[in-house]
Amino acid sequence: MSESSQAIGARLNRKLVLAGMEALDPALAARFGDYCTLLVRWNARINLTAIRDEEGILSRHFVESIACARAVPAGIATLLDFGSGAGLPGIPIALCRPEIAITLAESQGKKAAFLREAVRTLGLSSTVHLGRAESLTARFDCVTLRAVDRMREAAHAAEGLVRPAGWLALMTTAGELDGLQAGLGTGLKWLDPVPLQGSDHGLLAVAQPRVSDPA
């Protein structure tokens, strides 16, 4: 555990506290420091995220993703991060919720290579799926989706990967939520959205497939 990782983790913990959230254990915070360092280094070579500096990554990506990890319903055994990109929120969920088996689905080869390196560096047991998430045949207890292209179409595809008693978890904004819910139709039962600390307008919208009444 390097001193720089500890220092980055300490900065992350200060941001969590300022956002009204509980700080991470120092050892876990330092693992986020390792993740941040790796993300900054790879982002200089390939376009993983538009936010490229440490402060922005900690303030926006990590605080929001940790809030998501803590808000994901309890009792989940499997989770798919749909269009994982830089591993957000899948890798923070894997770090904060090690009891969950995480699959990181990413169709772009360079981004999938980053995800494999992050999984190796951080000592995670997560699986990286190189390919479109829609090609998966498994169904998951929870599917997360954050800031992907063509969000409405992706959300509809993600819904199809949720097992009957599972959860769809969308990291979105108040302005986008109504459109996403309307696009997904009436087959989902939505919980009240959870504001994501560290974000001005971010929300975690969680839904379960409706169960048809027996005839």
Q: Give the pLDDT confidence of 26-42 residue by residue, as tens digits.
A: 999 999 999 999 999 99
Q: Which of 157, 116, 153 is nearest to 133 (CA)?
A: 157
138-153 confidence digits (pLDDT tens): 999 999 999 777 889 9
**Cβ burial 44-55 (10 Å sphere, 16+ → b, else e):** eeeebbebeebe
d(CA 28, CA 16): 13
Q: Which of 34, 79, 75 is nearest to 57 (CA)?
A: 34
**Residue 16: per-residue pLDDT:** 96
**Residue 3: per-residue pLDDT:** 59
Per-residue pLDDT, averaged over 156-168, amounts to 95
Domain boundary assignment for the chain:
3-209
59-109 confidence digits (pLDDT tens): 989 999 999 999 999 999 999 999 999 999 999 999 999 999 999 999 999
Class of domain 3-209: alpha beta
Q: What single-letter DSSP state applies at residue 208?
A: E
First to last CA, the chain: 59
In contact, 33 and 14? CB cutoff 8 Å: no
Q: Which of 20, 14, 2 is nearest to 195 (CA)?
A: 20
Q: What percent of the chain has pLDDT over 90?
A: 83
How many other C-beta atoms can be found within 10 angstroms of the C-beta atom of residue 161? 21
In one-letter notation, the amino acid at residue 46 is I
Q: Parallel, antiparallel, or unpaired for β 101-106 and 78-82?
A: parallel
Q: What is the largest CA-CA distance in the chain?
A: 63
| Residue found under tokens 């890798």 | 91
In contact, 155 and 183? CB cutoff 8 Å: yes
**Residue 212: per-residue pLDDT:** 62
Q: Pull the structure tokens for residue 10.
A: 């300490």
40-52 confidence digits (pLDDT tens): 999 999 999 888 8
**Residue 2: per-residue pLDDT:** 53
In one-letter notation, the amino acid at residue 150 is R
Using a cut of 0.85, tell me whether the model's pTM lies above it. Answer: yes
pLDDT at 214 over 50: no
Residue 23: left (phi > 0), alpha (psi -120 to 50), or beta?
A: beta
Q: Which helix (H) or strand (E) holds 192?
A: none
